Amino acid sequence: EDQVTQSPEALRLQEGESSSLNCSYTVSGLRGLFWYRQDPGKGPEFLFTLYSAGEEKEKERLKATLTKKESFLHITAPKPEDSATYLCAVQAGDSSYKLIFGSGTRLLVRP
Amino acid sequence: DTGVSQDPRHKITKRGQNVTFRCDPISEHNRLYWYRQTLGQGPEFLTYFQNEAQLEKSRLLSDRFSAERPKGSFSTLEIQRTEQGDSAMYLCATRGGIEREQFFGPGTRLTVL
């Protein structure tokens, strides 16, 4: 069964304190791995797509990497406005291209 | 703003009532998805449309749930005889023909009393 597990569930950082979020997955025929950011009461906001092991993508203070079993979202020198829930999802090999999400990591960055 | 809109944003109803939600996708996106998200969890897939055809339904979608996408444009999700366990955020997402990422609307928060 396709499955996505994210850790930690919650993370508190001081402003400027870099860290990484983990997403481990088991899926048959990975089509893509996606990172989304979600603010309270809002829909997920697309961040990155990764397609193959070794691929990296960057956007401002965020960098996503992918291996054959997991993905990391590295946050460098975070700011309070980076506080949100970060969701990881995989797209399996079926025809619908539906996303299978993890439970997310709730990030709080304190000033 | 992703260009995907949902209406209403919030709905409070009493147990046993019927509710209907609407999703307006990005105009050129022919693939549309409904997800449900409960507190502290990631979104869970409910159903998928390509144009007007409903091609996949999750086992989460009980007989009380029905979704339509007439003419391949907007979509509606109806829940009949609501139960307290239906309380959740209902999210709509759309995808174009080439790119694989899905773009989500703001969601409809349903509370069943």
For B8-35, what is the mean pLDDT? 95
CB-CB under 8 Å, B33 with A103:
no
CB contacts, 8 Å: A46 with chain B:
2, 101-104
Candidate from A7-16, B16-25, B48-57 with smallest mean pLDDT: B48-57
Distance set, CA A78 to CA A6, A46, A62, B75 (Å): 19, 18, 9, 38
Token pair 């990631």 is at which residue? B42
pLDDT in tens, chain A (111 residues): 889 999 999 999 999 999 999 999 998 888 899 999 999 999 999 999 999 999 999 999 999 999 999 999 999 999 999 999 999 999 987 778 899 999 999 999 999
CB-CB under 8 Å, A43 with B106:
yes
The pLDDT confidence band at residue B1, using thresholds 50, 70 and 90, is confident
- Report the C-alpha gap between B79 and B86 in whole angstroms: 9
Residue B90, pLDDT above cutoff 90: yes
CB-CB under 8 Å, B105 with A103:
no
Token pair 């193959």 is at which residue? A52
pLDDT score, position B97: 66
- What is the per-residue DSSP string for B37-103? E-TTS--EEEEEEETTEEEEE-TTS-TTEEEE-GGGS-EEEEESS--GGG-EEEEEEEE-SS----E
pLDDT score, position A21: 98
pLDDT score, position B71: 85
B39 to chain A, closest Cα gap in Å: 10
- Report the C-alpha gap between A45 and A43 in whole angstroms: 6
pLDDT score, position A94: 76
Within 13 Å and on the Cβ side, how many CA atoms surround B113?
Answer: 4
Q: Residue A88: helix, strand or coil by DSSP?
A: strand
For B41-58, what is the mean pLDDT? 94
Candidate from A100-104, B48-52, B109-113 with smallest mean pLDDT: B48-52
